[in-house]
Structure 1
Amino acid sequence: MTSRTTRRNRTETLINPTNEELARLERQNRQRRLTAAPVIMAEQDNEMAAQLQLLRDQIAQLRREQPQAPQVQPGIGDSDNPHAFYQNRSAIVSPTIQRQDFEIKPQMISLVKQHLFHGLPAEIPMDHIENFEEICSDYRFEWGSETWDEVRAAFLDHFYTKSKTAALRNKISSFQQHSGEAFCEAWERPKEYRRECPHHGFKDEQILGIFYDGVEWDYRNALNAAKQWRLYDQD
């Protein structure tokens, strides 16, 4: 009984702050946070700047350690060699064939015969090479890729004569939009001309200027109004 009476008689002092005191305490805490925030942000910015500078130094060090390849000046007539500019124009990448055996099947011979190349002025050697490589991509040949590279280079150099190359380059330099031709169709023609003649020798800025000068006035004014218009934005 005595113990219970003692616990009941024990008094504790309770603090009941007023609303004004609570508001004052909240303002003080808010002020502390506002004062500490710029210091924390400055420390974070300094840390990020240090990390960025360290990354820049590492990149610069790697560039200094990387051996510089000697720059080879192009010689006279180098731009007339189409095989030097050859690249696969297709966006489709075929899977690698693991089998080592090879057999010329009648179906393959038939496919090749359906796409014969006669060397006519209207034919594009690059199209024939790509079509042939696409047909042969499903088969595994015993000879190395270097052998085919030599055959392809000889074929392109033989059928891309100087007169044919000059004619294809002239198609690019003399581009003009046809009467009633849609803008998108007109844009596709210079792109196709470049595909037909990969060794055309024009820079992207030059082709863009040729296209700009060749379109009708309405489209030219629209291009003038467009901001930051670039050649590859239209691909």
Structure 2
Amino acid sequence: MDDEPMWAADHVVALTPGSAITIRETENGFAIKGNHLTLIKGNQFDDRTKTVPHKHIHEFLGICDMFKYRDTENEAVRLMMFPLSLTGEAKTWLDKLNEGTIETWDELRTAFISRFFPPALFDRLLIEICAFSQHEKESLTDVWLRIKEMLKNCHGHNMSKGNIIKIFYHGLNEITQEVINAAAGGIFLSASQRQSLAQARLG
């Protein structure tokens, strides 16, 4: 219908010849719902923003799970939709992969994570967390939000809550340490882990 808004219209998605992604047993005329397309393109990954690839995968899957396509398997939908969630250098990376490189969603996710979250990046983020320190004039709330963001970006760090608390506490300046010591009713690190988690809002 001519009066139908663009976001409501269906759009046919077809992989281009020579694509790195191979999709088996799927009709070429897969039509994506217009509002689904809007959500996907509104959450694109370009490798220049601070978006973590793991976060992008999580958000992408969340959007995909909002929609169901009859006669089309979830895996096929993900494989056809994921290229639309990339832009800039990330899209260029996918386009340059050899034809037929990827046949499953797990292969696509692994390739994406390996490219945009390599071991060297993980090591650098982990070092930054271990060297964490409060900035000048940074409030307790802001410093806590910052280390939470650092931990979230370093996906798979596997650090215990106890170690995180120690890194956080030792990274604070003396004045802030005194504030949380007073709130804990003594030395913050001497309190039980449950008390420490409650004071630091981890629990």
Same fold, TM-score > 0.5, yes or no: yes
Q: Which residue of 2 aligns with 1:107?
A: 35
Cα offset, 1:232, TM superposition:
5.1
Deviation per CA, 1:8-32: give whole Å up to 9, x if none.
xxxxxxxxxxxxxxxxxxxxxxxxx
Deviation per CA, 1:103-138: give whole Å up to 9, x if none.
511332232223221223743112211221222121
The share of aligned pairs that are identical, in percent, is 31
Q: Which residue of 2 aligns with 1:143?
A: 73
Q: Which residue of 2 aligns with 1:231?
A: 197
Distance 2:120 2:48 in 1: 13
- One-letter code aligned to 2:117: Y
- Answer whether contact 1:121 1:164 (CA < 8 A) is retained: no
- Answer whether contact 2:36 2:67 (CA < 8 A) is retained: no
Q: Counterparts in 2 of 1:61-100, with a 5 A limit? A: none
Between Structure 1 and Structure 2, which shows a larger proportion of helix residues?
Answer: 1
Q: Secondary structure at the match of 2:32?
A: coil
Q: Which residue of 1 aligns with 2:113?
A: 156
Q: Where does the alignment leave 5 or more consecutive residues of structure 2 unmatched? A: 1-29, 76-103, 186-190
RMSD of equivalent CA atoms: 2.7
- One-letter code aligned to 1:156: I
Q: Which residue of 1 aligns with 2:149?
A: 192
Structure 1 pair 197–150 and aligned structure 2 pair: CA distance change class (3 A): same
Distance 2:74 2:33 in 1: 20
In the superposition, the TM-score normalised over structure 1's length comes to 0.49
Distance 1:107 1:185 in 2: 36
What is the number of residues matched between the two proteins?
A: 134
Cα offset, 1:144, TM superposition:
5.1
- One-letter code aligned to 1:201: N
Q: Which residue of 2 aligns with 1:120?
A: 48
- One-letter code aligned to 1:230: S
Structure 1 pair 232–155 and aligned structure 2 pair: CA distance change class (3 A): farther
Q: Where does the alignment leave 5 or more consecutive residues of structure 1 unmatched? A: 1-101
Deviation per CA, 1:159-198: give whole Å up to 9, x if none.
2112211222123112111111110111111111111122
Cα offset, 1:217, TM superposition:
0.7
Deviation per CA, 1:75-103: give whole Å up to 9, x if none.
xxxxxxxxxxxxxxxxxxxxxxxxxxx85
- One-letter code aligned to 1:133: L
